[in-house]
Structure 1
Amino acid sequence: MDFSGKRVIVTGAGKGIGRATALMLARRGATVIAVTRSATDLETLAGEIACETIAVDLADADATREAARKALPADLLVNCAGTTELESFLDVSVENFDLLYAVNTRAPMIVAQEYARERVEQGLGGAIVNVSSVAAFVGIPDHAAYCASKAGLDGLTRVMAKELAPKGIRVNGVHPTVTLTPMAVKAWSDPDKAAGMMARIPVGRFAEPDDIAEVILFLLSDEAAMVNGLSMPVDGGYMIA
């Protein structure tokens, strides 16, 4: 998969899956527009690859739209930014619920709107990958707001795929299992909890960020020209266990 000459927006590019995706795209010829909250993460990323960087708090809708417009033009888009707060359903606060929806569901919508509007206006096709989670499919204790926000992203992805494909823009979702990122360490630091999750993954391990990035690049590529509206688990068989 060669991305030479392509400009690709990657949100959440500072850490984890987003960073792995940005690095992989750059090494395969793309110009990456890296979008994330931490200016420090962007600085270290720019030390590894030549990329354009935009620091923004994706919980801020107006700032997110401004950043999306600044990132244009772009050929492809990866919505990878995400956050979580661990609370049981009975303890979920409105503030944290709203925060997770803002970052995990609303921000991808805003960035995709700006990207797609420009592509459509120019009569150009493209591809979007929204990074969701197996948490969109199953209920995971202490992840009520996270599960809801990712399920919301899935609904958005399906509508985007149906409405944008006739305009030449494919949209797909990727659903990782636990992936060894800083956010996963926060969510799965309890050994007993992690062991229970691991036991449900037939390949016997959690994912590495590169495992997910490879699938994202495939869905962005011309090799996936007939793939649209997919909810793609990258889970080692978790969903069949």
Structure 2
Amino acid sequence: MVSEARYAGALRLDGKRALITGATKGIGADIARAFASAGATLVLSGRDDAELNTARATLADEFGVEIRTAAVDLAADDGPAALASTALDAFGGLDVLVNNAGVSYPQPVTQTDPAQFDATIAVNLRAPALLASIVGAAMAEAGTGGSIITVASAAALAPLPDHYAYCASKAGLVMATKVLARELGPHGIRANSVCPTVVLTEMGQRVWGEEAKAAPMLARIPLGRFAVPHEVSDAVVWLASDLASMVNGVDIPVDGGYTMG
């Protein structure tokens, strides 16, 4: 049975072909669900075939949309190119790219592990930047415009202790997205970032669920709470939709005021 649509009117994404990375867990899973509800045709990417197949079957059954999957390790040297090729071939092109996949290895700056630093940069910056470059080139060649959406972080806009590599990778990704906006804008392709604070996914609950750890962070958020996944997904759907047709090169904090300082 097809579920009632979550979005209506100009927020619908019917006819749009979208690739979502990191689509089986946390924010990515909620974005995939939101896009399916909005009527988009989807390519879901992750590393685990079984999880991707479960997500595909669930969303296709619930929302009646066409979905393909691509199991790719984005940290591999050829991962971004392999994913771009598979996703572009799936439906003859892409209208939307959501760069969501990311990793984090919290540790004090004085105890930075070089291997984990490199892994963070590889997944959080290198992979999405290269993927956007390839997909953006294909969108430009197609001549029909498009939207590239980066799920960055409030940690890209304000320093977060114990997140040295993470902050650096997300800040670099925000600037890379602005370069995409500058260079691809003349082709009708928009590129924007969404920068959430802590989001209460399963991982977010696990990391920030302890009151003692959460309290100092919550004290810096004027709204006094962390985000929930749909608050990020709604912003991403809006950026993918025609309602955001003149929005290009911006980073949108979904953070309750955290980055005001």
Shorter-chain TM-score: which interval?
Answer: over 0.9
Report the residue type matching 1:184 in the other structure.
G
Aligned-residue offset at 1:41? 2.3
In structure 1, the partner of 2:6 is none
Q: Distance in 1 between matches of 2:47 and 2:205?
A: 19
Deviation digits for residues 179-230 of structure 1 (CA, Å, limit 9, x no counterpart): 0123324542443221111121122211111110000111111111111110
Residue 6, structure 1, aligned to residue 16, structure 2? yes
In structure 2, the partner of 1:47 is 57
In structure 1, the partner of 2:78 is 62
C-alpha contact 1:86 1:187 (8 A) present in aligned 2: no
Residue 124, structure 1, aligned to residue 168, structure 2? no
Q: Distance in 2 between matches of 1:207 and 1:40?
A: 28
Q: Distance in 1 between matches of 2:110 and 2:50?
A: 36
Moved more, 220-229 or 44-53: 44-53
Residue 238, structure 1, aligned to residue 261, structure 2? no
Aligned-residue offset at 1:139? 1.5
Q: Distance in 1 between matches of 2:255 and 2:230?
A: 13
Q: Distance in 1 between matches of 2:13 and 2:71?
A: 24
Report the residue type matching 2:232 in the other structure.
I
Other structure's SS at 1:156 match: helix
Q: Distance in 2 between matches of 1:145 and 1:80?
A: 17
In structure 2, the partner of 1:75 is 95
In structure 2, the partner of 1:26 is 36
Q: Distance in 2 between matches of 1:146 and 1:189?
A: 20
One of 84, 93, 98 as aligned partner of 2:104? 84
Moved more, 193-202 or 181-190: 181-190
Report the residue type matching 2:70 in the other structure.
I
Q: Report runs of 4+ in structure 1 exceeding 4 Å deviation.
A: none
Other structure's SS at 2:78 match: helix
Per the normalisation by structure 2, the TM-score is 0.89
Q: What are structure 1's unaligned runs of at least 5 residues?
A: none
Q: Distance in 2 between matches of 1:185 and 1:40?
A: 24
Aligned-residue offset at 1:113? 1.6
Per the normalisation by structure 1, the TM-score is 0.96
Report the residue type matching 1:15 in the other structure.
K
Other structure's SS at 1:61 match: coil
Report the residue type matching 2:68 in the other structure.
E
Report the residue type matching 2:235 in the other structure.
V
Report the residue type matching 1:238 in the other structure.
Y
Q: Distance in 1 between matches of 2:12 and 2:160?
A: 37
Residue 103, structure 1, aligned to residue 123, structure 2? yes
Report the residue type matching 2:169 in the other structure.
S
Deviation digits for residues 126-167 of structure 1 (CA, Å, limit 9, x no counterpart): 011001000011221111110111011011011111111011
Residue 193, structure 1, aligned to residue 179, structure 2? no
Moved more, 185-194 or 46-55: 185-194
Q: What are structure 2's unaligned runs of at least 5 residues?
A: 1-10, 61-66
Residue 222, structure 1, aligned to residue 232, structure 2? no
Give identity over the alignment, percent.
46
